[in-house]
Amino acid sequence: MSFAAGSFRDPAARVLADDGPQIRRVLSAAAAADDTRLRAAGLFDELERAGWLIASRRRDDVPAPDGWSAVVESPRLPFVSYPAEWSFGMLRDAALLTLQITERALERGAILKDASAFNVLFEGAQPRFVDVSSLMSRDGDGPWHAYGQFCDHFLAPLMLEAYRGVPFQSWLRGSLEGLDIGTLARLLSARDLVRPGVATHVMARTALERRSGTLAPAARHAARGLALPAAALLRNVRSLQRLVAGLRSRAVSPWADYRDAEDHALSARKAAFVAAAGARLGGGQLAWDVGANSGRYSRLLAEHYAYIVALDADAGAIDRLYAELRGSDEARRVLPMVVDVMQPSPPRGWRGRERASLVERGRPQLALYLALIHHLCLGRGVPLAEFLDFARDTAPAAVIEFVAAEDPHSQALLASRTAQHPGYDLANFRRLAAARFQILDEAALTPTRQLFLLA
Protein backbone atom coordinates (compact mmCIF):
# COMPACT_ATOMS: atom_id res chain seq x y z
CA MET A 1 0.00 0.00 0.00
CA SER A 2 1.34 3.44 -0.82
CA PHE A 3 -0.10 6.90 -0.38
CA ALA A 4 -0.46 9.83 -2.73
CA ALA A 5 2.55 12.09 -2.12
CA GLY A 6 0.42 15.13 -1.25
CA SER A 7 -1.76 13.57 1.45
CA PHE A 8 0.44 13.19 4.54
CA ARG A 9 -0.65 16.23 6.54
CA ASP A 10 -3.82 14.82 8.07
CA PRO A 11 -2.88 11.79 10.21
CA ALA A 12 -6.55 10.71 10.35
CA ALA A 13 -7.04 10.33 6.59
CA ARG A 14 -4.80 9.66 3.61
CA VAL A 15 -5.29 9.27 -0.11
CA LEU A 16 -4.09 6.01 -1.66
CA ALA A 17 -1.71 6.23 -4.60
CA ASP A 18 -3.75 5.00 -7.52
CA ASP A 19 -4.34 6.24 -11.06
CA GLY A 20 -7.82 4.76 -11.39
CA PRO A 21 -10.96 6.77 -12.12
CA GLN A 22 -11.75 6.88 -8.39
CA ILE A 23 -9.83 8.56 -5.57
CA ARG A 24 -9.70 6.32 -2.51
CA ARG A 25 -9.16 7.71 0.98
CA VAL A 26 -8.46 5.62 4.04
CA LEU A 27 -9.72 6.79 7.44
CA SER A 28 -8.46 6.13 10.96
CA ALA A 29 -10.84 4.51 13.45
CA ALA A 30 -11.81 7.88 14.95
CA ALA A 31 -12.23 9.50 11.52
CA ALA A 32 -14.30 6.54 10.28
CA ALA A 33 -16.65 6.78 13.28
CA ASP A 34 -17.06 10.50 12.70
CA ASP A 35 -17.60 9.97 8.95
CA THR A 36 -20.37 7.48 9.76
CA ARG A 37 -22.02 9.97 12.11
CA LEU A 38 -21.86 12.90 9.65
CA ARG A 39 -23.16 10.77 6.76
CA ALA A 40 -26.05 9.51 8.90
CA ALA A 41 -26.88 13.12 9.80
CA GLY A 42 -27.16 13.90 6.07
CA LEU A 43 -24.41 16.54 5.95
CA PHE A 44 -22.57 14.97 3.00
CA ASP A 45 -25.80 14.52 1.01
CA GLU A 46 -26.77 18.10 1.62
CA LEU A 47 -23.42 19.51 0.51
CA GLU A 48 -23.31 17.21 -2.54
CA ARG A 49 -26.81 18.23 -3.60
CA ALA A 50 -25.76 21.88 -3.46
CA GLY A 51 -22.91 20.97 -5.85
CA TRP A 52 -20.33 22.16 -3.29
CA LEU A 53 -18.79 18.89 -2.20
CA ILE A 54 -17.57 16.17 -4.54
CA ALA A 55 -19.70 13.03 -4.39
CA SER A 56 -18.24 10.40 -2.08
CA ARG A 57 -19.30 7.06 -0.66
CA ARG A 58 -18.09 4.62 1.92
CA ARG A 59 -16.78 1.39 0.43
CA ASP A 60 -17.38 -0.94 3.34
CA ASP A 61 -17.06 -3.84 0.87
CA VAL A 62 -13.41 -2.89 0.26
CA PRO A 63 -11.16 -4.07 3.10
CA ALA A 64 -9.25 -1.18 4.66
CA PRO A 65 -5.46 -1.57 4.71
CA ASP A 66 -3.72 -2.45 7.99
CA GLY A 67 -3.97 0.28 10.57
CA TRP A 68 -6.93 1.93 8.85
CA SER A 69 -10.65 1.47 9.45
CA ALA A 70 -12.57 2.57 6.37
CA VAL A 71 -12.28 3.42 2.68
CA VAL A 72 -14.07 6.40 1.11
CA GLU A 73 -14.27 6.77 -2.65
CA SER A 74 -14.86 9.85 -4.79
CA PRO A 75 -14.51 10.44 -8.55
CA ARG A 76 -11.25 11.82 -9.95
CA LEU A 77 -11.61 15.14 -11.75
CA PRO A 78 -10.18 15.25 -15.29
CA PHE A 79 -7.35 17.72 -14.62
CA VAL A 80 -5.88 19.10 -11.41
CA SER A 81 -5.17 22.82 -11.03
CA TYR A 82 -3.54 24.59 -8.08
CA PRO A 83 -4.29 27.99 -6.49
CA ALA A 84 -1.25 29.67 -8.09
CA GLU A 85 -2.82 28.77 -11.46
CA TRP A 86 -6.20 30.36 -10.69
CA SER A 87 -7.44 33.82 -11.57
CA PHE A 88 -8.74 36.25 -8.94
CA GLY A 89 -12.36 35.20 -9.49
CA MET A 90 -11.40 31.53 -9.19
CA LEU A 91 -9.54 32.01 -5.88
CA ARG A 92 -12.41 34.16 -4.58
CA ASP A 93 -15.03 31.55 -5.52
CA ALA A 94 -12.92 28.80 -3.94
CA ALA A 95 -12.73 30.93 -0.76
CA LEU A 96 -16.49 31.49 -0.77
CA LEU A 97 -17.10 27.77 -1.31
CA THR A 98 -14.89 26.97 1.70
CA LEU A 99 -16.83 29.47 3.83
CA GLN A 100 -20.25 28.27 2.60
CA ILE A 101 -19.34 24.72 3.55
CA THR A 102 -18.01 25.90 6.92
CA GLU A 103 -21.26 27.79 7.55
CA ARG A 104 -23.48 24.84 6.64
CA ALA A 105 -21.28 22.48 8.66
CA LEU A 106 -21.46 24.75 11.72
CA GLU A 107 -25.25 24.80 11.47
CA ARG A 108 -25.10 21.00 11.66
CA GLY A 109 -22.61 20.77 14.53
CA ALA A 110 -19.61 20.10 12.31
CA ILE A 111 -16.66 22.12 11.02
CA LEU A 112 -13.77 21.98 8.53
CA LYS A 113 -10.59 20.79 10.18
CA ASP A 114 -8.46 22.64 7.63
CA ALA A 115 -9.03 25.45 5.14
CA SER A 116 -6.28 24.81 2.61
CA ALA A 117 -6.88 26.18 -0.88
CA PHE A 118 -5.67 22.78 -2.13
CA ASN A 119 -8.94 21.31 -0.77
CA VAL A 120 -10.69 22.88 -3.75
CA LEU A 121 -10.34 21.79 -7.36
CA PHE A 122 -12.10 23.09 -10.43
CA GLU A 123 -14.25 20.95 -12.68
CA GLY A 124 -14.18 23.27 -15.66
CA ALA A 125 -15.32 26.58 -14.18
CA GLN A 126 -17.07 24.88 -11.26
CA PRO A 127 -15.22 24.86 -7.92
CA ARG A 128 -15.58 21.61 -5.98
CA PHE A 129 -14.50 20.92 -2.44
CA VAL A 130 -12.72 17.58 -2.79
CA ASP A 131 -11.19 16.87 0.62
CA VAL A 132 -14.19 15.02 2.07
CA SER A 133 -12.18 13.99 5.14
CA SER A 134 -11.80 17.65 6.13
CA LEU A 135 -15.33 17.66 7.57
CA MET A 136 -15.47 16.68 11.23
CA SER A 137 -17.78 16.98 14.19
CA ARG A 138 -17.19 20.14 16.16
CA ASP A 139 -15.71 19.22 19.49
CA GLY A 140 -16.58 21.62 22.29
CA ASP A 141 -17.06 25.31 21.60
CA GLY A 142 -13.64 26.57 20.57
CA PRO A 143 -12.82 29.01 17.76
CA TRP A 144 -12.20 27.74 14.19
CA HIS A 145 -8.70 26.27 14.20
CA ALA A 146 -8.38 26.63 10.44
CA TYR A 147 -9.18 30.36 10.41
CA GLY A 148 -5.50 31.34 10.26
CA GLN A 149 -4.93 28.94 7.36
CA PHE A 150 -7.98 30.36 5.58
CA CYS A 151 -6.44 33.83 5.84
CA ASP A 152 -3.04 32.70 4.51
CA HIS A 153 -4.44 30.64 1.64
CA PHE A 154 -7.32 32.86 0.57
CA LEU A 155 -7.88 36.18 2.31
CA ALA A 156 -4.33 37.57 2.20
CA PRO A 157 -3.67 36.83 -1.52
CA LEU A 158 -7.10 38.21 -2.44
CA MET A 159 -6.54 41.38 -0.38
CA LEU A 160 -3.09 41.86 -1.94
CA GLU A 161 -4.64 41.94 -5.43
CA ALA A 162 -7.81 43.81 -4.40
CA TYR A 163 -6.16 46.48 -2.28
CA ARG A 164 -2.68 46.83 -3.79
CA GLY A 165 -3.29 45.74 -7.39
CA VAL A 166 -0.54 43.10 -7.08
CA PRO A 167 -1.41 39.77 -8.77
CA PHE A 168 -1.25 36.99 -6.18
CA GLN A 169 -0.20 34.14 -8.50
CA SER A 170 3.56 34.55 -8.15
CA TRP A 171 3.23 34.75 -4.32
CA LEU A 172 1.32 31.47 -4.28
CA ARG A 173 3.82 29.93 -6.69
CA GLY A 174 6.46 30.88 -4.14
CA SER A 175 4.82 29.17 -1.17
CA LEU A 176 2.41 26.29 -0.74
CA GLU A 177 1.37 27.84 2.59
CA GLY A 178 -0.14 30.91 0.95
CA LEU A 179 0.68 34.48 1.93
CA ASP A 180 1.33 35.00 5.62
CA ILE A 181 -0.92 37.68 7.11
CA GLY A 182 2.08 39.36 8.78
CA THR A 183 3.76 39.71 5.40
CA LEU A 184 0.58 41.21 3.96
CA ALA A 185 0.54 43.73 6.85
CA ARG A 186 3.97 44.94 5.71
CA LEU A 187 2.82 45.24 2.10
CA LEU A 188 -0.24 47.36 2.89
CA SER A 189 -0.03 51.09 3.49
CA ALA A 190 -1.67 53.26 6.16
CA ARG A 191 -4.32 54.22 3.60
CA ASP A 192 -5.42 50.58 3.41
CA LEU A 193 -6.40 50.63 7.10
CA VAL A 194 -9.84 51.92 6.16
CA ARG A 195 -10.44 49.14 3.64
CA PRO A 196 -12.78 46.32 4.70
CA GLY A 197 -11.15 43.71 6.89
CA VAL A 198 -7.70 45.30 7.11
CA ALA A 199 -7.94 46.74 10.63
CA THR A 200 -9.24 43.44 12.01
CA HIS A 201 -8.06 40.44 9.96
CA VAL A 202 -4.67 41.95 9.13
CA MET A 203 -3.54 44.61 11.60
CA ALA A 204 -5.24 43.45 14.83
CA ARG A 205 -4.32 39.85 14.01
CA THR A 206 -0.66 40.76 13.37
CA ALA A 207 -0.51 42.67 16.66
CA LEU A 208 -2.06 39.71 18.50
CA GLU A 209 0.39 37.30 16.88
CA ARG A 210 3.29 39.51 17.95
CA ARG A 211 2.02 39.67 21.51
CA SER A 212 1.10 36.01 21.81
CA GLY A 213 4.46 35.02 20.37
CA THR A 214 6.04 36.09 23.67
CA LEU A 215 3.62 34.01 25.77
CA ALA A 216 4.83 30.90 27.58
CA PRO A 217 3.99 27.60 25.81
CA ALA A 218 1.46 26.77 28.55
CA ALA A 219 -0.40 30.04 27.98
CA ARG A 220 -0.39 29.50 24.22
CA HIS A 221 -1.74 26.01 24.76
CA ALA A 222 -4.46 27.43 26.99
CA ALA A 223 -5.58 29.63 24.07
CA ARG A 224 -6.73 26.44 22.35
CA GLY A 225 -9.25 25.96 25.15
CA LEU A 226 -10.89 29.37 24.62
CA ALA A 227 -14.63 29.19 24.08
CA LEU A 228 -16.56 30.86 21.29
CA PRO A 229 -20.26 30.00 21.02
CA ALA A 230 -21.45 28.57 17.70
CA ALA A 231 -23.58 31.67 17.13
CA ALA A 232 -20.54 33.97 17.38
CA LEU A 233 -18.50 31.63 15.18
CA LEU A 234 -21.27 31.63 12.57
CA ARG A 235 -21.41 35.40 12.70
CA ASN A 236 -17.66 35.54 12.08
CA VAL A 237 -17.91 33.13 9.12
CA ARG A 238 -20.78 35.09 7.56
CA SER A 239 -18.94 38.36 7.98
CA LEU A 240 -15.88 36.78 6.30
CA GLN A 241 -18.16 35.71 3.43
CA ARG A 242 -19.38 39.28 2.95
CA LEU A 243 -15.82 40.57 3.09
CA VAL A 244 -14.53 38.06 0.49
CA ALA A 245 -17.56 38.51 -1.80
CA GLY A 246 -16.91 42.26 -1.89
CA LEU A 247 -13.28 41.99 -3.02
CA ARG A 248 -12.50 43.01 -6.62
CA SER A 249 -9.21 42.70 -8.47
CA ARG A 250 -7.31 45.92 -9.11
CA ALA A 251 -4.53 44.24 -11.08
CA VAL A 252 -3.82 45.58 -14.55
CA SER A 253 -4.28 43.09 -17.39
CA PRO A 254 -2.76 43.88 -20.79
CA TRP A 255 -4.70 41.11 -22.54
CA ALA A 256 -8.20 40.95 -21.06
CA ASP A 257 -9.60 43.22 -23.77
CA TYR A 258 -7.59 41.75 -26.65
CA ARG A 259 -10.58 39.96 -28.13
CA ASP A 260 -12.37 43.26 -28.65
CA ALA A 261 -9.62 44.24 -31.05
CA GLU A 262 -9.72 40.90 -32.94
CA ASP A 263 -10.41 40.83 -36.64
CA HIS A 264 -13.71 38.94 -36.86
CA ALA A 265 -13.28 37.61 -40.41
CA LEU A 266 -9.82 36.32 -39.47
CA SER A 267 -11.01 34.62 -36.29
CA ALA A 268 -13.91 33.00 -38.18
CA ARG A 269 -11.43 31.41 -40.61
CA LYS A 270 -9.27 30.30 -37.70
CA ALA A 271 -12.32 28.79 -35.98
CA ALA A 272 -13.20 26.82 -39.12
CA PHE A 273 -9.64 25.44 -39.30
CA VAL A 274 -9.67 24.42 -35.61
CA ALA A 275 -13.09 22.77 -35.91
CA ALA A 276 -11.96 20.84 -39.00
CA ALA A 277 -8.76 19.76 -37.20
CA GLY A 278 -10.74 18.44 -34.22
CA ALA A 279 -13.05 16.50 -36.52
CA ARG A 280 -10.21 15.12 -38.64
CA LEU A 281 -8.28 13.89 -35.59
CA GLY A 282 -11.42 12.22 -34.26
CA GLY A 283 -11.38 14.05 -30.92
CA GLY A 284 -10.25 12.52 -27.64
CA GLN A 285 -10.18 12.90 -23.86
CA LEU A 286 -7.99 15.96 -23.34
CA ALA A 287 -6.89 18.97 -25.35
CA TRP A 288 -4.91 22.07 -24.39
CA ASP A 289 -5.33 25.56 -25.76
CA VAL A 290 -2.01 27.28 -25.08
CA GLY A 291 -2.33 31.07 -25.03
CA ALA A 292 -6.11 30.68 -24.95
CA ASN A 293 -6.94 34.34 -24.19
CA SER A 294 -10.70 34.67 -24.81
CA GLY A 295 -11.06 30.87 -24.90
CA ARG A 296 -13.03 31.01 -28.13
CA TYR A 297 -11.11 28.10 -29.66
CA SER A 298 -11.04 26.13 -26.39
CA ARG A 299 -14.82 26.17 -26.41
CA LEU A 300 -14.88 25.09 -30.05
CA LEU A 301 -12.76 22.06 -29.19
CA ALA A 302 -15.39 20.98 -26.65
CA GLU A 303 -17.31 19.62 -29.62
CA HIS A 304 -14.68 16.92 -30.18
CA TYR A 305 -12.73 16.62 -26.92
CA ALA A 306 -14.11 15.55 -23.54
CA TYR A 307 -12.09 18.09 -21.53
CA ILE A 308 -10.16 21.19 -22.52
CA VAL A 309 -7.54 23.04 -20.50
CA ALA A 310 -7.32 26.71 -21.52
CA LEU A 311 -3.90 28.09 -20.53
CA ASP A 312 -2.89 31.72 -20.63
CA ALA A 313 -0.17 33.71 -18.87
CA ASP A 314 -2.51 36.68 -18.48
CA ALA A 315 -4.57 36.36 -15.31
CA GLY A 316 -7.00 39.06 -16.49
CA ALA A 317 -7.82 37.17 -19.69
CA ILE A 318 -8.31 33.93 -17.72
CA ASP A 319 -10.53 35.73 -15.22
CA ARG A 320 -12.73 37.01 -18.01
CA LEU A 321 -12.91 33.55 -19.59
CA TYR A 322 -13.76 32.02 -16.19
CA ALA A 323 -16.62 34.49 -15.69
CA GLU A 324 -17.98 33.76 -19.19
CA LEU A 325 -17.74 30.01 -18.75
CA ARG A 326 -19.81 30.08 -15.54
CA GLY A 327 -23.30 29.06 -16.56
CA SER A 328 -22.33 28.29 -20.17
CA ASP A 329 -22.76 24.91 -21.89
CA GLU A 330 -19.04 24.18 -21.57
CA ALA A 331 -18.90 25.28 -17.90
CA ARG A 332 -17.82 21.87 -16.65
CA ARG A 333 -15.60 20.94 -19.60
CA VAL A 334 -13.27 23.89 -20.12
CA LEU A 335 -10.78 24.51 -17.30
CA PRO A 336 -9.20 27.99 -17.37
CA MET A 337 -5.68 28.19 -15.91
CA VAL A 338 -3.16 30.98 -15.44
CA VAL A 339 0.00 29.39 -16.84
CA ASP A 340 2.94 30.95 -18.63
CA VAL A 341 4.43 28.20 -20.81
CA MET A 342 7.82 29.89 -20.43
CA GLN A 343 7.63 28.99 -16.73
CA PRO A 344 5.23 26.06 -16.32
CA SER A 345 4.43 24.97 -12.75
CA PRO A 346 7.28 22.80 -11.43
CA PRO A 347 6.81 19.91 -8.96
CA ARG A 348 6.62 21.37 -5.46
CA GLY A 349 6.41 20.69 -1.76
CA TRP A 350 7.84 17.95 0.43
CA ARG A 351 10.52 16.00 -1.45
CA GLY A 352 9.41 17.79 -4.58
CA ARG A 353 6.50 15.38 -4.86
CA GLU A 354 3.63 16.92 -2.92
CA ARG A 355 2.20 18.85 -5.88
CA ALA A 356 2.77 17.61 -9.41
CA SER A 357 4.26 19.69 -12.20
CA LEU A 358 1.95 20.78 -14.98
CA VAL A 359 3.13 18.14 -17.45
CA GLU A 360 2.81 15.32 -14.88
CA ARG A 361 -0.90 16.05 -14.51
CA GLY A 362 -1.92 14.63 -17.86
CA ARG A 363 -0.85 14.92 -21.46
CA PRO A 364 -3.26 16.28 -24.04
CA GLN A 365 -3.96 14.53 -27.33
CA LEU A 366 -4.10 17.84 -29.15
CA ALA A 367 -2.65 21.26 -28.34
CA LEU A 368 -3.52 24.59 -29.96
CA TYR A 369 -0.89 27.31 -30.28
CA LEU A 370 -2.72 30.16 -31.94
CA ALA A 371 -1.01 33.54 -32.28
CA LEU A 372 1.54 32.44 -29.67
CA ILE A 373 4.71 31.54 -31.57
CA HIS A 374 5.84 35.13 -32.22
CA HIS A 375 5.54 35.94 -28.49
CA LEU A 376 7.79 33.03 -27.58
CA CYS A 377 10.24 33.11 -30.48
CA LEU A 378 10.47 36.84 -31.22
CA GLY A 379 9.39 38.26 -27.87
CA ARG A 380 11.22 35.89 -25.56
CA GLY A 381 13.96 34.40 -27.68
CA VAL A 382 12.89 30.75 -27.94
CA PRO A 383 14.59 29.20 -31.03
CA LEU A 384 12.02 28.02 -33.58
CA ALA A 385 13.36 24.43 -33.47
CA GLU A 386 12.92 24.36 -29.69
CA PHE A 387 9.38 25.64 -29.94
CA LEU A 388 8.59 22.71 -32.24
CA ASP A 389 10.38 20.30 -29.86
CA PHE A 390 8.15 21.62 -27.09
CA ALA A 391 5.04 21.12 -29.26
CA ARG A 392 6.11 17.55 -30.09
CA ASP A 393 6.79 16.73 -26.40
CA THR A 394 3.49 18.23 -25.27
CA ALA A 395 1.00 16.46 -27.54
CA PRO A 396 1.01 14.09 -30.52
CA ALA A 397 -1.04 16.59 -32.53
CA ALA A 398 -0.82 20.37 -32.78
CA VAL A 399 -2.50 23.28 -34.48
CA ILE A 400 0.05 26.07 -34.83
CA GLU A 401 -0.46 29.53 -36.23
CA PHE A 402 2.82 30.76 -37.65
CA VAL A 403 3.09 34.55 -37.37
CA ALA A 404 5.88 35.94 -39.56
CA ALA A 405 8.30 38.61 -38.37
CA GLU A 406 6.76 41.00 -40.91
CA ASP A 407 3.30 40.74 -39.32
CA PRO A 408 2.17 44.00 -37.64
CA HIS A 409 1.85 42.20 -34.26
CA SER A 410 5.40 40.86 -34.57
CA GLN A 411 6.61 44.30 -35.55
CA ALA A 412 4.98 45.76 -32.43
CA LEU A 413 6.83 43.16 -30.34
CA LEU A 414 10.11 43.95 -32.06
CA ALA A 415 9.72 47.72 -31.90
CA SER A 416 11.95 48.12 -28.86
CA ARG A 417 14.40 45.29 -29.62
CA THR A 418 17.25 44.71 -31.95
CA ALA A 419 15.83 42.56 -34.74
CA GLN A 420 17.69 39.29 -34.24
CA HIS A 421 15.74 36.22 -35.13
CA PRO A 422 17.79 34.04 -37.46
CA GLY A 423 15.84 31.24 -39.09
CA TYR A 424 12.45 32.59 -38.05
CA ASP A 425 10.59 32.32 -41.36
CA LEU A 426 7.83 30.26 -42.93
CA ALA A 427 10.10 28.03 -45.05
CA ASN A 428 12.21 27.12 -42.02
CA PHE A 429 9.09 26.52 -39.91
CA ARG A 430 7.75 24.11 -42.52
CA ARG A 431 11.08 22.28 -42.70
CA LEU A 432 11.45 21.99 -38.88
CA ALA A 433 7.79 20.97 -38.46
CA ALA A 434 8.09 18.26 -41.14
CA ALA A 435 11.10 16.80 -39.29
CA ARG A 436 8.98 16.27 -36.15
CA PHE A 437 5.41 15.82 -37.37
CA GLN A 438 3.48 15.09 -40.49
CA ILE A 439 1.92 18.27 -41.89
CA LEU A 440 -1.71 17.19 -42.31
CA ASP A 441 -3.15 20.53 -43.34
CA GLU A 442 -2.06 24.08 -44.01
CA ALA A 443 -3.97 27.30 -44.74
CA ALA A 444 -2.97 30.91 -45.24
CA LEU A 445 -4.86 33.31 -42.97
CA THR A 446 -3.14 36.50 -44.17
CA PRO A 447 0.08 37.05 -46.11
CA THR A 448 1.97 36.94 -42.79
CA ARG A 449 -0.04 34.26 -40.92
CA GLN A 450 -0.24 30.57 -41.75
CA LEU A 451 -2.15 27.80 -39.96
CA PHE A 452 -0.77 24.27 -39.66
CA LEU A 453 -2.26 21.00 -38.49
CA LEU A 454 0.57 18.73 -37.38
CA ALA A 455 0.35 15.14 -36.13
Partner 1 sequence: MRAFLVIAYVDPSAGSLLLQLLLGGFAGLAVALKLGHRRVRAWLRRRFRRSGDPDVSGEPRR
Among 114, 123, 192, 401, binds partner 1 (CB under 8 A): 114
DSSP codes of every residue in 127-173: EEE--GGGEEEPPTT---TTHHHHIIIIIHHHHHHHHH---SHHHHH
Binding residues with partner 1: total (CB under 8 A) = 51
Q: Which stretch binds partner 1 (CB under 8 A): 167-175, 233-241, 271-279, 347-355?
A: 233-241
Pairing relationship of beta strands 439-446 and 397-403 according to DSSP bridges: unpaired
Element (H, E) at 443: strand 439-446
Give 92 or 201: the residue with its C-beta nearer to partner 1.
Answer: 201
Q: Rounded to an integer, what distance in angstroms lies between the CA atom of residue 348 and that of residue 337?
A: 18
Nearest to 44 by CA among 32, 57, 31: 57
Give me the least distance between CB of 149 and partner 1, in Å please.
5
Measured from the CB of residue 60, what is the shortest distance to partner 1 in angstroms?
Answer: 16
206 binds partner 1 (CB under 8 A): yes
Residues whose CB falls within 8 Å of the CB of residue 409, separated by 6 or more in sequence, listed in order = 371, 374, 403
Residue 39 beta carbon to partner 1: minimum distance, rounded to whole angstroms: 12
Q: 392: buried, middle or exposed (CB in 10 Å: 19+, 13-18, 0-12)?
A: middle
Segment contacting partner 1 (CB under 8 A): 58-66, 206-214, 285-293, 369-377?
Answer: 206-214
Nearest Cα to Cα of residue 391 among 436, 424, 361, 445: 436
d(CA 287, CA 299): 11
9 near partner 1, rule: CB under 8 A: yes
Q: Which is nearer to partner 1, 233 or 290 (CB)?
A: 233
For the window 19-38, what string marks contact with partner 1 as x by the rule CB under 8 A?
---------x-xx-xx-xx-
Q: In the complex, what is the shortest distance from the CB of residue 116 to partner 1, in angstroms, rounded to a whole number?
A: 8
Q: Is residue 242 a contact residue for partner 1 (CB under 8 A)?
A: no
**Nearest distance from residue 35's CB to partner 1, in Å?**
8
Give the Cα-Cα-Cα angle 318, 322, 326 (nearest 5 degrees): 170
Task: Decide: 3 and 14 in contact? Cβ < 8 Å.
Answer: yes
Contact flags string 41-60 toward partner 1, x per CB under 8 A: --------------------
Give the total residue count for the chain.
455
Report d(CA 342, CA 381) in Å as an integer.
Answer: 11
Q: Quick one: which H or E segment has residue 289? A: strand 284-290
Least distance to partner 1, CB of residue 194, Å: 17
241 part of the interface to partner 1, by CB under 8 A:
no
CB of 291 to partner 1, least distance (A): 38
CB-based contact 266:446 (threshold 8 Å): yes
Distance between CA atoms of 358 and 79, rounded to whole angstroms? 10
Mapping DSSP onto H, E and C, the string for 321-337 reads: HHHHHCCCCCCCCEEEE
Q: Does 282 bind partner 1 (CB under 8 A)?
A: no
Among 65, 142, 283, 362, binds partner 1 (CB under 8 A): 142
Q: Count other Cβ atoms within 10 Å, centred on residue 420.
A: 9
Exactly one of 17, 50, 204, 342 binds partner 1 (CB under 8 A); which one? 204
Contact between 149 and partner 1 by CB under 8 A: the answer reads yes
Kindly state whether residue 67 participates in binding partner 1, applying the rule CB under 8 A. no
Query: Which 164-203 residues touch partner 1, going by CB under 8 A?
Result: 200-201
Q: Does residue 299 belong to the site contacting partner 1 (CB under 8 A)?
A: no
446 makes contact with partner 1 (CB under 8 A) = no
Interface with partner 1 (CB under 8 A), residue from 6, 7, 10, 73: 10
* Listed ranges 59-67, 72-80, 109-117, 244-252: which one lies at the site for partner 1 (CB under 8 A): 109-117
CB of 1: closest distance to partner 1 in angstroms?
A: 21
By beta-carbon proximity to partner 1, the closer residue of 89 and 197 is 197
Read out DSSP for 229-280?
-HHHHHHHHHHHHHHHHT-------SSTTGGGGS-HHHHHHHHHHHHHHHHH
Look up residue 213 and give its DSSP letter: T
Minimum CB–partner distance for residue 119 and partner 1 (Å) = 11
Task: Identify the residue among 220, 353, 380, 431 touching partner 1 (CB under 8 A).
Answer: 220
Return the number of other C-beta atoms located less than 10 Å from residue 190's C-beta.
6
- Identity of the residue numbered 111: I
Q: Is 12 in the site for partner 1 (CB under 8 A)?
A: yes
Q: Name the residues that contact partner 1, by CB under 8 A.
A: 9-12, 28, 30-31, 33-34, 36-37, 111, 113-115, 136-137, 139, 142-149, 151, 200-201, 204-206, 208-213, 215, 219-220, 223-224, 226, 228-229, 232-233, 235-236, 239
